[in-house]
């Protein structure tokens, strides 16, 4: 759960907001000339990054206004909130060291390791 800083209302609980998906996907202007593949790209394809994502949110339970947000999907850090129509600001994010690796925080995966047979050798000796 996170707290979102609505540009109009200030900090509010996540449950007051609805999600609008990836931001900055603008409707094509010459849609009558588009191929099926280009339509598929616009309608279905998404960047879905493990890292910084520009996304739309709506403050549904209060001012009901839309805004954009930059969030690090690897950690859920909120990096910036900006208004619809504005360009995303430059931000720094703590990214995973490898493409699908786990971030320093924000994942339950880093605590558990596989026990390799070598590591179990001394355990056997003592039992």
Binding site for another protein (CB under 8 A): 1-2, 13-15, 18-19, 21-22, 36-37, 39-41, 43-50, 53, 55, 71, 73-76, 98-101, 103, 106-109, 112-114, 116-117
Burial (Cβ within 10 Å: 0-12, 13-18, ≥19) of residue 57? buried
Cα pseudo-dihedral 36, 37, 41, 45, rounded to 10: 110
> 113 or 123, CB closer to another protein?
113
Q: Based on CB atoms, which residue is closest to another protein, 2 or 8?
A: 2
Query: What backbone phi and psi angles, to 5 degrees, belong to 5?
Result: -90, 90
Enter the DSSP assignment of 34: -
Q: How many whole angstroms separate alpha carbon 48 and alpha carbon 53?
A: 8
CB of 37 to another protein, least distance (A): 5
112 vs 125, beta carbon nearer another protein: 112
Minimal distance, residue 20 CB to another protein, in Å? 9
4 or 7: whose CB is closer to another protein? 4
CB of 55 to another protein, least distance (A): 7
* Maximum pairwise Cα distance, the chain: 75
């Amino acid at each position: 759960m996170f707290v979102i800083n609505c540009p109009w209302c200030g900090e509010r609980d996540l449950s007051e907001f609805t999600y609008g998906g990836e931001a900055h996907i603008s409707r094509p202007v010459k849609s009558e000339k588009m191929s099926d593949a280009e339509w598929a790209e616009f309608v279905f394809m998404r960047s879905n990054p493990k890292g910084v994502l520009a996304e739309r949110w709506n403050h549904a339970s209060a001012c009901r206004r839309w805004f954009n947000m930059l969030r690090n999907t690897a950690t859920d850090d909120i990096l910036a909130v900006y208004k619809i129509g504005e360009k995303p600001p430059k931000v720094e994010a703590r990214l995973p060291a490898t493409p699908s690796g786990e971030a320093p925080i924000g994942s339950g995966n880093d605590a558990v390791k596989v026990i390799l047979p070598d590591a179990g050798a001394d355990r056997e000796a003592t039992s």
